[in-house]
Structure 1
């Protein structure tokens, strides 16, 4: 079999994840049942248990599919900053954080809305569900905090973490509104990731410095 060819098993797994992402986004973790996922995915309950084992692990799989390419891109951009600048600017660091996340704006409207809703859910679900999501983004979160600590040594780790959390909140707000008719980004093409990134960086950089 050729590498990269989807098999019925991987097709089924991806279908389950896609349906689960939409349902978790719309209904939250508690409001989504495995039976509702099974019904909308057109599979049997045994398939969900075979691939994931539990609802918590299915939620984790959705987060992993969303987070890993974003985290990989963030870490790549951070490494480029380390190579190019002894002390990067706040603007450059924020760009490395925001741009990979805002590339969601280039997706079709339906996918954009679902992904944005799901990312919002990841921040508002009660424990331990919220921690499942946080764990998948932990590597890049710590890398960004390390970089910010180098650039802003006068600020404590807790101060930087608090500000970083506000940056993520602003990011998710922009993502969530991008697919809506009265979006904050109206007048900007949804695929114009550069413009969206620049606007957010200009707004957030002074707050990081203060």
Structure 2
């Protein structure tokens, strides 16, 4: 849950709890939170419903745990990358890279279930419920505030209002471009005649960082 430590939320690899969370991530990302059934999750994890009730108590708690398991590695990597440079030496590009690079890397990872992370978050945002929204807010709001302050520190003259707007636009652009790598999408790759490879995390990172940096450096629009 949101108040627990990373260690408490990270079960030993190969444990029943870990198997259920990994299977639920795949099932929820594929079927959606509402349509997914416990039977599908137990089949994918090779466990039983009793194990889910023992470790989580209900499907709702399992959904919360899966969302937390998605948020933790992203936010941890973001903060580690941000803190890798002392505050006095940070640049706007460094802060933007810390914000967008970890989600891109994890979402476009060609191995394991990392590619499901963005799909799951997009589902939670497209079809919000009180449960998913509350869990996402609890995991991401504090990190957002941390980055808002960091972005203002490295962007002279940027008002708090503009910082919030531009942060939101940056996150929206990031979510859109990583969703392009989903099977059946690749619209940008198609309309560009292959010029833009939306399966290439390095190309996405390079273009997105440049775009977001330019957005934060843009002049403030008068009310």
TM range (shorter): 0.7 to 0.9
Given candidates 195, 205, 210, the residue that maps to 1:197 is 205
The 1:163/1:56 distance shift into structure 2, 3 A limit, reads farther
The 1:82/1:123 distance shift into structure 2, 3 A limit, reads farther
C-alpha distance after superposition, 1:137-183 (max 9, x if no partner): 23321210111222346444343223212211211222211243652
CA distance in 2, matches of 1:131, 1:175: 24
Aligned to 1:60: 64
Given candidates 31, 34, 54, the residue that maps to 1:50 is 54
**Contact 1:17 1:61 (C-alpha < 8 Å) held by counterparts:** yes
* Higher relative contact order (CA closer than 8 Å, sequence separation 6+): 1
Counting helix residues as a fraction of each chain, which structure ranks higher? 1
The 1:54/1:104 distance shift into structure 2, 3 A limit, reads same
Q: Secondary structure at the match of 2:113?
A: helix
C-alpha distance after superposition, 1:3-43 (max 9, x if no partner): xxx57xx5322221122112222333222233432243332
Aligned residues: 201
The 1:136/1:143 distance shift into structure 2, 3 A limit, reads same
Report the TM-score when normalising by structure 2.
0.76
Unaligned runs of 5+ in 2: 1-11, 219-223
Report the TM-score when normalising by structure 1.
0.80
Aligned to 2:95: 93
Aligned to 1:40: 44
Aligned to 2:173: 170
Unaligned runs of 5+ in 1: 1-5
**Contact 2:180 2:198 (C-alpha < 8 Å) held by counterparts:** no
Aligned to 2:124: 122
Q: Secondary structure at the match of 1:111?
A: coil
CA distance in 2, matches of 1:36, 1:112: 20
